Amino acid sequence: MPACSKGRLTRILGASNNSKFDSFANSFQMRIDWDYLATHLAAVISKAIVTKYYSVEIRYAYHLELLTGCRQSLVEAQRYPEDFNGVYATAPALNETGVTTYAITSNVRAVLLDETNFTQAITVDNVRVIKEAVLDACDYLAGLKDGVIGIPRSCHFEIDRLAFSARHQNSSSCLSRTALEAAKRLYAGPVSSITHQQLNLEGVLPGSESVWPGTYVAQTEGGNPGYCDFAVSFLSHYAFWPDPAEEVTSFTINLSEPTLLARTSKTESLEYTGMADMSKFQQLGGKVIMTRYFRCTELCTRPVSSP
């Protein structure tokens, strides 16, 4: 949505993790329109609407977003440097197709025992126990006990201490072996079954537990975590070109397939060129502010196996 104040236009764009990609099925032109033209045309049309409605000349235009929208900000500055005077980019989801293919697949597998009955490996109550343990172990690391893990990569809490024991089998502050292993898989991230190497640089970070319910973990028993449907739509109708002949789910895709990243390369080339050339944007006086976001490891890290 655009916001206008004293001749300044701020364009806030982005894509939700609940997005459906069914409309992209078997259409490479749709991918081109979305990845290469959508943000640019939104900027052009927004400026025209604001200028007409307010009867003012837009002197400055800015793009603010995070994750997918953040990548749009940076790519927009490279491809269409005249569109904005500045971008505020939080946790850019660079190389999104390759990373998301690994990340969402790994995360759905981590929290579900199967995709047929949506049998949960971990529950919202389990997440509460984990979150409390993480805060208890690492809340002080940044020098302030405020309920926020300020330095997540320095948090090394011992999750095995939460396992059920013979003395505390019914304790609400413990995890079953199934839930414990599910949490470990989330923190570890995707690993090749062939080489046993990390496919992403890392998994989710300690301190991210607040966003697990609804995203990775179903809110209710027998429910469907948000990433599950997203994964099916993304893998079946967007990530690969040409589209797979049959529907792809997180349980049918083979993350250890050596050519997997090559099969996502066409889509990646549209959404991000891999070249961070901001010279024209700089010559036009453009400014960039980049910040980090605690969920960055879901989409922002580059696959280890990627060239």
Whether 250 is covered by a domain: the verdict is no
Residue 5: its pLDDT value, please? 46
User: Between the CA atoms of 44, 48, 54 and 59, what dihedral angle is there, to the nearest 10 degrees?
Assistant: 50
Q: What is the pLDDT along the chain (307 residues), one digit of tens a residue?
A: 444 444 455 544 444 444 578 888 889 999 989 888 989 999 999 999 999 999 988 999 999 888 888 888 888 999 999 999 999 988 777 777 877 788 888 888 888 888 777 788 999 999 999 999 999 999 988 888 888 888 898 998 899 999 976 555 556 789 999 999 999 999 998 888 788 888 877 889 999 999 999 988 988 877 788 888 888 889 999 999 888 888 888 888 888 887 887 888 888 888 876 667 889 999 999 999 988 754 433 333 333 443 3
Q: Strands, DSSP E only, in the chain?
A: 2-5, 8-12, 60-67, 86-92, 287-291
Burial 252-280 (b: 16+ CB within 10 A, else e): ebebbeeebbebbeebbebbbeeeeeeee
Q: How much is the pLDDT for 168?
A: 55
Asked whether the CA dihedral 10, 278, 298, 242 is positive or negative, the reply is positive
Range of the structural domain that residue 41 is part of: 2-16+29-96+271-298
- Domain total for the chain? 1
4 Cβ contact partners less than 8 Å away, ≥ 6 residues apart: 10, 50, 54, 56, 58
Whether residue 279 is contained in a domain is answered as yes
Residue 139 resides in a domain: no
The pLDDT, as a whole number, for residue 4 is 44
Question: What single-letter amino acid sits at 7?
Answer: G
Residue 135 domain-assigned (yes or no): no
Q: Give the pair of three-digit tokens for residue 209.
A: 């537990």
- What's the predicted TM-score (pTM) here? 0.77
Q: Does residue 58 lie in a domain region?
A: yes
Domain assignment of residue 248, yes or no: no
Q: Which of 133, 135, 198 is nearest to 160 (CA)?
A: 133
